[in-house]
Amino acid sequence: QTLHPFLHAHPTRGNMAPDRRHIGLSSTNTTVLGGVVCLVLMAVYQAVKETHPDTLAQRHHGTSDFLSRHEHDTSYRRAGAGAGAGNRAVSTFRDAMDPFYRYTPRQQADLTRQLSTTQEELRESQQHSKSLTDALAAAHAREEQVANEAAGLRNKLAAAKPEEVEDVVEAEDEIAAEDEHGAHAPDFVEFPESLRPLPADESEDGGAMCGDTHPATEFWGEVVRDGSKNIQASAGKCCESCRQSGRVDKTRRACTVWVWHPTSHECWLKFDDDPNPKPHDHGAHVPWTSGVVPKRPPISYRTIDSVAARTGSGIDKRAAPPPPPTCLHTVLSSSGNAYMNWQTRVMYATYLKYAAAPGSVMKAFTRVLHRGKDDELMMEIPTMRFEPNQGKCDTWCDYPVADRSLAIAQWSKTTDSMRCSHVMMVETDYIYIKTAPLSVLLPPGQAVGFKYGYISPYESNMKGVLESYYADNPDVEKPPGPFKLPQTGNAPSCLNVGDLR
């Protein structure tokens, strides 16, 4: 009696246990079942093999590699080899791409991303090249137009009657002025020479970059010069004495710490390997004032005052530089922290977009960095770095923009500030939404600013602040009558560079 397709009942053995049955497998059914089990095991083995990390990292390429990716690929190529010219082209392409398939899936993905990035950069380069070509063609067309208009006016002038001469001359002057303005608007140079710091042997460092000054503080260290033999009139002079003490080698200053006494004027010069030494003593009972000279060398740039004009006699004499061209220089200030840097990237991208507009007056961009060391954007965005008074703001301080005004003042003295007639002051969290119009370039003495509702110099609580300012600065003349102060901030504002200076 059949109990299962693969099972059946054996007949009874003699008369013993007539109701007892033994269920077993026939030889045929056993063979079939064994084949099924064998196929299952082979499938499981192949699945494990194909998904094993070692197999994924380095696939076999032999024709005996059962169900391998390479075997399938080569089979497809063999099948397409005789399927006509089209299939032969596909086969040839896959043969050429065969090295690509020898990489792991992760490596293939990386190569694909790199290819995509390269193609995108190529497209951008082609677009940029096309925009430059279009701009050059437009400039040539405008030049030809102006030349034709001027020639036509000269012909009119030659044939004009006496009463018509004045009108023709005025029209020619307008064309000449327009042509001259075009010549005065320079092309945008992203990284000009004016951004480059002076070499150490040409440094124009006129003041001591001494980092933070700590009153009522005494630093210890290895004595470099006895204070009783180094009398200095002020803490600044003491700092200068330390800074000018020279270097032991290229990486080490002879003096890194100075300690000055306000009564005896003793100036002790010391060395401490720690760039941020801990004070030995601090408090109102300590008469000493101490400071640290940074290990880094001072940074300086070519200044306007250093520009000399060579006369016919061959003698260098200081002379006023020529006036800057009529255009707009965007100046952004930053302390270089990570938050401000990603904002700066966005801001600069919008600047480039609208500076590229035809006829744009936006011809220069400088990021003024008040920081003790270079940061990640130095080679990405046009930047000039200036030494801060608060060196601790490189990491953290409670008012990181405290050195902004000093850095802008220092920048205004450099030759970089002579690239354009006007300056647009911006901050890192600004963006351009259109190109700046020519109308914002106002005459000297006039400026454009944003009116802030929360800046109210006329509020009663501001009177005490202004009075305190004049008390602390007796050399500043107090204007008669109510103090009038525009409700603007330092940015955004557009003003003549001479007024800023």
The CB-based long-range contact list for 55-59 (8 Å cut-off, 24+ gap) reads: 56/104, 56/105, 57/104, 58/104, 59/102
Q: How far apart are CA 298 and CA 10, in angstroms?
A: 104
Confidence at residue 403, expressed as pLDDT on a 0 to 100 scale: 86
Q: Which has the higher per-residue pLDDT, 5 or 157?
A: 157
Confidence at residue 63, expressed as pLDDT on a 0 to 100 scale: 40
Residue 388 pLDDT exceeds 70: yes
> Structure tokens of 392?
């601790």
Query: Concatenated DSSP letters for 232-271?
Result: -SSHHHHHHHHHTT-BSSSS-BS--EEEE-TTT-BEEEEE
Determine the average pLDDT of the residues in 171-177. 51
Q: Which has the higher per-residue pLDDT, 284 or 147?
A: 284
Q: How far apart are CA 145 and CA 139, in angstroms?
A: 10
Instruction: Please state which CATH class domain 304-500 belongs to.
Output: alpha beta
What would the pLDDT profile of 423-464 be if each residue is shown by its tens digit? 999 999 999 999 999 999 999 989 999 988 887 777 777 777
- Mapped onto helix, strand or coil, the DSSP state of residue 19 is coil
- Mapped onto helix, strand or coil, the DSSP state of residue 365 is strand
What would the pLDDT profile of 289-311 be if each residue is shown by its tens digit? 998 886 666 688 998 888 754 44
CATH of domain 206-292: 3.50.4.10
What would the pLDDT profile of 471-493 be if each residue is shown by its tens digit? 877 777 777 776 667 788 889 99
Looking at the chain, the whole-number percentage of residues with pLDDT higher than 70 is 68
Closest to 400 in 3D by CA, of 388, 415, 414:
388
Burial of residue 340 (number of CB atoms within 10 Å: 0-12, 13-18, 19+): buried
Determine the average pLDDT of the residues in 34-49. 81
On whether the CB atoms of residues 252 and 222 are closer than 8 A, the answer is: no
pLDDT tier at 95, thresholds 50, 70, 90? low
User: Helix-strand-coil percent breakdown of the chain, rounded to 5?
Assistant: 40, 15, 40
What is the crossing angle of helices 69-81 and 85-96, to 10°? 150
Closest to 340 in 3D by CA, of 289, 298, 381:
381
> Structure tokens of 277?
């030494």
Residue 152 pLDDT exceeds 80: no
Q: Which has the higher per-residue pLDDT, 71 or 386?
A: 386
Q: How far apart are CA 497 and CA 444, in angstroms?
A: 9
Q: In the Cβ-directed half-sphere of 96, how many Cα atoms lie within 13 Å?
A: 6
Rounded to a whole number of angstroms, the CA Rg of the chain reads 40
Confidence at residue 218, expressed as pLDDT on a 0 to 100 scale: 92
Amino acid at 253: R
Say if strands 422-426 and 488-496 run parallel, antiparallel, or are unpaired. antiparallel
Closest to 440 in 3D by CA, of 419, 460, 424:
424
Confidence at residue 384, expressed as pLDDT on a 0 to 100 scale: 94
Confidence at residue 444, expressed as pLDDT on a 0 to 100 scale: 92
Range in 139-153, 166-180, 189-203, 238-252 with the lowest mean pLDDT:
166-180
Closest to 418 in 3D by CA, of 490, 321, 342, 286:
321
pLDDT tier at 97, thresholds 50, 70, 90? low
Alpha carbon distances (Å) from 349 to 329, 343, 433: 15, 10, 11
Determine the average pLDDT of the residues in 36-59. 70
Q: Which has the higher per-residue pLDDT, 129 or 402?
A: 402
What would the pLDDT profile of 363-386 be if each residue is shown by its tens digit? 999 999 998 888 999 999 999 999
Mean pLDDT of all residues belonging to the chain: 75
Confidence at residue 141, expressed as pLDDT on a 0 to 100 scale: 78
> Structure tokens of 299?
């940074």
Q: Which has the higher per-residue pLDDT, 215 or 133?
A: 215
Element (H, E) at 35: helix 27-51
